Chain A
Amino acid sequence: MSEVELVCIVCPASCTLKAQLAGGGLEVEGAGCARGVEYARRELTNPVRHVMTVVKVRCGDLPVVSAITSKPVPKSCVFEVVKATANLEVEAPVELGQVLLENVCGASLVATRRVRRVSGAGCPASPANP
């Protein structure tokens, strides 16, 4: 694996790291402390990120609800999460912490906002049973 340049985000020092995995070991240059080496190890072996997005809501007081992955997912999987949610639509009401989508990149997608139900044309006072 070739050398990768990283900026450490563990503390404000923001060390520029040169890191590579070679022969089963990790070589890091430029780290001001051991936490920087650990950061490089994580970024090179198993980088993970939370993904946040919005999901369409039917019959809500807002047109979308914000959502986040229940745990960080592999960095390489980030766009799979947003693709999976692009055409997703849920029905109001939506409660905080409600699971909107299960099993995406090993995590689930949970609501981070409350959306109340608004009744009107095509939207009876309580949601239809699926």
Chain B
Amino acid sequence: MIERSFDVAVIGGGPAGMAAAAKAAELGLSAVLIESRDLLGGVPLQCIHPGFGLHVFGEDLTGTQFAYRLIERVERSGAEVMLRAHVHSVEVEAHDEKVVNVVAPGGVVRVRCRALIYAAGARERTIFEIGVVGDRPAGIFTAGEAQLLMDLYGVLPGREVVIVGSGDVGLIMARRFALEGARVKAVVEIMPWPGGLMRNVVQCLHDFGIPLLLSHAVVRVAGRGRVERVVVARVGEDLRPLPGTEFEIPCDTVVVAAGLRPNADLLERMGAAIDPATGGPVVNELLETTVPGVFAAGNALVVNDLVDYAVEQGERAAEGAKLFVEGGGLPAADWKPVARGRNVRLAVPHYVSGERGAVVYARVERPERNVLIRVPELGLRRFAAAVRPAEMVRLELPRSAFEGVELERLTLEVVPRE
């Protein structure tokens, strides 16, 4: 067994983890980045479409190009990288001492660290989680699997495709299938609005004449050996299929794009509190979980729709780790809860100190036009022409906003503009 010691260990070599490890090293900490695959990059490595990095690099890059930029930053930073390294478990030995048990090609490595940044990403929801019954033949993929097959390995998973759910990856894959000569019969979305960004609805579906069936659900898959058709029904306001509205769509492939869930199992085993609204950990403004010195960032914290936010969270967690390592803990007198007000489905972080600025990431429950996004206790308000569940709201709470304000809690709410 090998023992190694670092100020900070980062689990997960995607955008959030790469940004966290690089930033920690840039701040003068000794940092190790632990990745289970044989290369860094994470999800963007299989994203060959543009739209990445407009905020971080000020350029419109493909996911792959974006990943290489971050890999170069990690290399320059001096952070150590462990590849093909699986995290088995984490032992919290003391307030500022954790041991990450890693199974690596050279054997078992015990990585001793004072702060830990958890950035293991999210997993896709599967067909088993969205109430689709029927046969289980070949030809059912998650959107990410289809993307990996097509865009990393050049394999077309099928020719006649129905996409279940209209999350961004599903929309992106609808376009990829159409471009590579497959026929996308429909994108079926249970909600009355699309799950992905509107620019993806327009450029991936409208451009290729792909029908988007809103308020519809795939209720059954049928096929012997291979998918032969799906049964689709309209749903009512309770999202349950309406009897008598079923129809069939013949197809050989079903792609499930039903959203992501943070990979929080390891955090739960460490004893971190989980927010049911995000599926990720409860955190403060430096993205520290309820386990002192354990931070979370990226899709493991909350499912983001822009990679830029994952990078920002990674850097924020690294700043937290620096404060923690140098001060033996985070110096905050009092944490105030961030409450979810009107039309707010989720909000991260869950606690703020008021002693430094914070960034809040939130999603609304339902689309709404002509609204104010506001925090009444701080007198902060921002106009938005529209808000949609698919587009994350990012709100900065500057340090100055807290000055001279006595606070018990903050409320984030979305209200109609008078």
Chain A residues within CB distance 8 Å of chain B: 6-7, 9, 11-14, 32-33, 49-54, 56, 62-64, 66-68, 75, 78-79, 82, 86, 96, 112-114
Provide the residues of chain A in CB contact with B151, threshold 8 Å. Answer: 54, 64, 66
Provide the residues of chain B in CB contact with A78, threshold 8 Å. Answer: 179, 207
Contact A32:B385 (CB < 8 A) given known A9-B199, A12-B198:
yes
Number of interface residues of B (CB under 8 A): 30
Contact A96:B65 (CB < 8 A) given known A11-B385, A14-B198, A14-B388:
yes
Interface set, chain B 144-202, CB cutoff 8 A to A: 150-154, 176, 179-181, 198-199, 201-202
A113 B64 Cβ-Cβ under 8 A: yes
Give bound CA distance, A126 to B74, whole Å: 29
Seed contacts A12-B387, A82-B180; 7 additional CB < 8 Å A-B pairs: A12-B385, A12-B386, A13-B369, A14-B198, A50-B49, A53-B179, A68-B62
B62 A12 Cβ-Cβ under 8 A: no
Residue of A nearest to B203 (CB): A49
Contact A68:B48 (CB < 8 A) given known A62-B152, A75-B207, A113-B64:
yes
Contact A13:B386 (CB < 8 A) given known A56-B154, A64-B153:
yes
B202 A63 Cβ-Cβ under 8 A: no
Contact A66:B198 (CB < 8 A) given known A12-B384, A12-B386:
no
A12 CB, min distance to chain B CBs, angstroms: 5
Provide the residues of chain A in CB contact with B388, threshold 8 Å. Answer: 12, 14
Ordered nearest first, which 7 A-B pairs have the shortest CB separation?
A: A64-B154, A66-B48, A13-B385, A13-B386, A9-B199, A14-B198, A112-B64
A50 B50 Cβ-Cβ under 8 A: yes
Give bound CA distance, A114 to B40, whole Å: 13
Give bound CA distance, A63 to B151, whole Å: 10
B207 A51 Cβ-Cβ under 8 A: no
A62 B198 Cβ-Cβ under 8 A: no
Provide the residues of chain B in CB contact with A64, threshold 8 Å. Answer: 151-154
B62 A112 Cβ-Cβ under 8 A: yes
Interface set, chain B 328-379, CB cutoff 8 A to A: 369
Cβ contacts B45-81/A at 8 Å (1 or 0 each):
0001110000000000010110010000000000000
Provide the residues of chain B in CB contact with A75, threshold 8 Å. Answer: 207
Provide the residues of chain A in CB contact with B68, threshold 8 Å. Answer: 96, 114
Give bound CA distance, A117 to B151, whole Å: 18
Residue of A nearest to B45 (CB): A113
B49 A52 Cβ-Cβ under 8 A: yes
Provide the residues of chain B in CB contact with A12, threshold 8 Å. Answer: 198, 384-388, 391
Give bound CA distance, A26 to B180, whole Å: 35
Provide the residues of chain A in CB contact with B387, threshold 8 Å. Answer: 12
Provide the residues of chain A in CB contact with B181, threshold 8 Å. Answer: 82, 86
In the assembled complex, B417 has its CB within 8 A of some CB on chain A: no
Give bound CA distance, A102 to B300, whole Å: 41
Provide the residues of chain B in CB contact with A32, threshold 8 Å. Answer: 385
Give bound CA distance, A52 to B147, whole Å: 13
